[in-house]
A and B are shown apart, each in its own frame.
Chain A
Amino acid sequence: MRVGLFITCLVDVMRPEIAEAAVALLEAAGCSVEVPMAQTCCGQPGYNAGDTASARALARKFLAEFERFDHVVVPSGSCGGMIRTHYPALFADDPDLRTRIDAVAAKTWELTAFLHDVVGIRSLPGRFEGELTYHDSCSGLRELGVQKQPRALIGLRPGVTLVEMKDARACCGFGGTFAVKYGDISTAIVDEKIDRIKASGAPCVVLGDLGCMLNIEGRLRRNGDLETRVLHVAQVLAGDAVPGAPASVEAAVPAAARAAAAAPGPAPATGPATAAGTETAAGRAGTADAATPTDTRPPPESAAAAIPKER
């Protein structure tokens, strides 16, 4: 089965390990994974801002790049929702294109929905263990009906305990540019989500959308919580099948916690060159080709801090 991976623009830049986990899962499920390199963005930022012309242009671009696959898989409910539910509406007045858009939309899947509903994966690659709680991101849940699938797949991991938080389906307050335009409202909403996460007692929240992850993690860190893990469901499901990826909640030490642990003494976490490790990393980045992004994170403090590395 030929599967095209739609990385999503956010995962590509901010959390490439999510796409690596998605590839590991799809390959473990027997799919042949291809990544069209010309892909960019699904067009959702324009669509939600009222710029339908650019959303339409990007939908056509997506069509050209992904029409040839048996299936298209997206590690995001919101980009998946954009393609599956909103693309067809964008071409209501163009019957020829609409037929093709409908076809590609119908074979585009959010990652867990694909693994569970389409290929019916029975066993997961790699290892992962620990206690976690699951947040239902809005678009995946309400536009695509993704709710049982991630939970069922997490259930395939014997070492993982899923503790449900209260109101798991309540919005985290991200909402794309809403989080920037109405930062104070967005923050009040995510604070409530964080209260629920903490009340669950789980040291880790797992979800299927990177935007929501950045929102929740960003607020946790700003409030001084360097420990609570915020992971994508793909990372839990692929575990250490991705070389160097953590095999447990415990090992998935957040970058902020690693930096704090690396800092000598109770030095403040801000300011230039707080840790030798940071300097080393910065130095490495500095000597590399300026246009080549380098792993800028400090090296692991201990063996427990398993960091996914470039292969």
Chain B
Amino acid sequence: MQVQSMHFKARAGQKLADVRLQQNLKILSQRWTVGRSNAIAELDDFEATRDEAVERRNRALANLDAWLERFEQEATARGATVLWAETPEEASRLVVAIARKHEVRKVTKSKSMVSEEMALNRHLEAAGVQVVETDLGEYILQINDNEPPSHIVAPVVHKSKDEVSDLFARVHQRPRLTDIPQMTREAREFLRPHFLSADMGVSGGNFLVAETGSVAVFTNEGNEGMCTVLPPKVHVAVTGIEKVLPTLEDLATVARLLPRSATGQSISNYFSLLTGPRAPGEQDGPEHMYVVLVDGGRSGLLGGEFQDMLRCIRCGACMNHCPVYQKIGGHTYGWVYPGPMGSVLTPSYVGIENALDLPQAATMCGECHVVCPMKIPLPDLLRKLREKQMERGLRPWRERAGLAAWAFAAKRPALYRPLARLGGWVLGRIGRDGGRIRSLPMAGGWTQTRDLPAPSGPTFKERWAKQRH
């Protein structure tokens, strides 16, 4: 997917002014946060489960190459073909080649964020293959001129029911429906013929299980099964190399956290463990199964200060609880992954210089770290990215000059104290009318929408010096 993160500020402004989006985001952030909090409360020991899951993910990442090879061996032994792609583009080329090999004309797709990294739909369509998104949210986006998803779990979270009603009426050319079950039924009517006529199904993979060579997929609508098991000749799973877990036991542990953290469910409605193509004597499953493992910058994080990020299980809890995401929505972030995890992943995968705002546009409130089931220290990672921006001279000169002046003074008490007195006095003068400063040079970002309360009198140090010495 093309990176649009450089337009962050402009887009944020548009999203903040979008009244309907603001209403949608407000309702949903409440629903997500309450849902998660209820769901983790029903676990006997959430913290212990979390610690165990972190440990298991770390164990996998510590020997990632070995576990990936084990996965390849086991998957191959069960008849699947494992392919490796260094870049998302390469992964798309591999999938297009698979489609060509099997003379595929139509692909049904289950939800996959990695396929967004790959811009897979565009590549397949360029090769003359029709692609139909079958996750309801992704379907809505596809029929709305291929709008990108705004959330990794709920891609269409930015839209209200009314907007979807209008869209369905327009695209489906049917009377406008407002009842969600009826709307879903209508979408099913449109999707069903595609399921029956597709030659190939593409899915993501929430996890890979090394010891069995399986691909694990969590969904709520069940359409994934229609893409991977039921009719198509070919199933292709695309996923990131960091998703491998050594054992089914590891998967069971992580599975206790993923739906709870994501949607507040104890388990998703559907859970598939896809192991190899249909074997002789089996009733279902594809004739051919491929697993495309995408690096796309992931191996670059291994062994470095951002390795913790590779534990991410894509639950979306960090964005659901992020005060910034809750105000600007996912599109503002400008690439595949929004919110705090996206603000770490985007610069890491597409280049720090292409996403300068992302690590900066965070209040550092720390709630993402608190709710992350994998205990990824997201604020620390954002801060490390800020360090890298600074080291590489990527911050505006005014910011660097301001910081340098601040640091120069703060290190020199003899200079700092009179400056603080003077600064306080000047601010007091500006704000002498009611203790409110209505505009201040260099601080327009603050004073455009807020007063700056003025100092309430002489500095504490001056008072203290007078009283006690």
Contacts and interface: CB of A to CB of B under 8 A. Distances in A.
Interface of A: 7, 9, 11-17, 19-20, 35, 37-41, 43, 45-52, 54, 57-58, 61, 89, 138-139, 142-143, 169-171, 173-176, 178-190, 192, 213-215, 217-219, 221-222, 226, 254-256, 258-260, 269-271, 274-275, 278, 281-282, 285, 290-298, 308, 310-311
Contacts of A89: 380
Given A292-B421, A308-B456, A51 B12 contact: no
Interface SS of chain B: helix, strand, loop or mixed?
helix
A139 to B, nearest CB: 7
A82 B412 CA distance: 20
Interface string B431-469: 111111010000111101111111111111111111110
A182 B420 contact: no
B407 A296 contact: no
A181 B434 contact: no
A184 B16 contact: yes
Task: Please give me the 9 A-B residue pairs with the lowest Cβ-Cβ distance, nearest first.
Answer: A255-B435, A175-B363, A259-B434, A183-B445, A50-B386, A54-B407, A50-B390, A16-B460, A218-B450
A215 B461 CA distance: 24
Contacts of B171: none
Contacts of A185: 12, 16, 324, 327-328, 361
A310 B466 contact: yes
Interface in B380-414: 380, 383, 385-391, 395, 399, 403, 406-407, 409-411, 413
Contacts of B323: 170-171, 173, 189
Interface string B318-346: 00000110111000000000000000000
Given A15-B456, A255-B454, A182 B366 contact: no
B364 A17 contact: no
B433 A218 contact: no
Interface in B336-379: 360-367, 369-370
Contacts of B386: 48-50
13 contacts: A12-B460, A13-B424, A14-B455, A50-B395, A54-B406, A138-B366, A178-B360, A183-B450, A189-B326, A221-B434, A270-B433, A293-B421, A310-B457
Given A48-B383, A222-B450, A17 B456 contact: yes
B416 interface: yes
Contacts of A290: 425
A12 B391 contact: no
Contact of B433 (A16, A188, A278): A278
B328 to A, nearest CB: 6
Given A35-B464, A171-B323, A255-B435, A40 B457 contact: no
Contact of A16 (B12, B395, B425, B458): B458
B127 interface: no
A180 B16 contact: no
B205 interface: no
Contacts of B438: 222, 270
Contacts of A192: 26
Contacts of B149: none
A53 to B, nearest CB: 8
Contacts of B361: 178, 181-182, 185
Contacts of B26: 192
A182 B452 contact: no
Given A13-B459, A171-B323, A178 B446 contact: no
B9 interface: yes
Nearest to B464: A35
A292 B460 contact: no
B405 to A, nearest CB: 11
Contacts of B369: 142
A54 B411 CA distance: 8
A12 B460 CA distance: 5
Contacts of B22: 188
Nearest to A190: B450
B436 A256 contact: yes
B327 to A, nearest CB: 4
Given A173-B323, A178-B364, A218-B452, A37 B423 contact: no
B383 A50 contact: yes
A160 B425 CA distance: 34
Contacts of A54: 403, 406-407, 410-411
A226 B434 CA distance: 9
Given A41-B410, A291-B418, A175 B364 contact: yes
Contacts of B450: 183, 187, 190, 215, 218-219, 221-222
A182 B459 contact: no
A157 to B, nearest CB: 22
